[in-house]
Amino acid sequence: MRRKKPRRMVTLKIPGELYDKLSDLIEGTGFRSVTEFATYVLRDVAAGGKLDRKPPGLTEQEVEAVRQRLRALGYIP
């Protein structure tokens, strides 16, 4: 019979304030710990298979509006 590999566990560091908020958030939900909740959420995200690769920021229209304003002010040609 083939033996199963033991699950490898790693440490994921998050800001203490976030940990505290998550702890409050899961109170009374059935999650036994922030670690259990974080594992659930991360598995759900990973199951989706992909993330929006575009970092958050300005839309193309917003970027163009900034460029136009900088041109009007003479900062860019």
Residue 1 has pLDDT above 80, yes or no: no
CB 22 within 8 Å of CB 38? yes
pLDDT in tens, 5-30: 778 999 999 999 999 999 999 999 99
Domain ranges for the chain, please list them: 16-72
pLDDT in tens, 38-63: 999 999 888 887 766 666 788 889 88
pTM: 0.57
Left (φ > 0), alpha (ψ -120 to 50) or beta: where does 9 sit?
A: beta
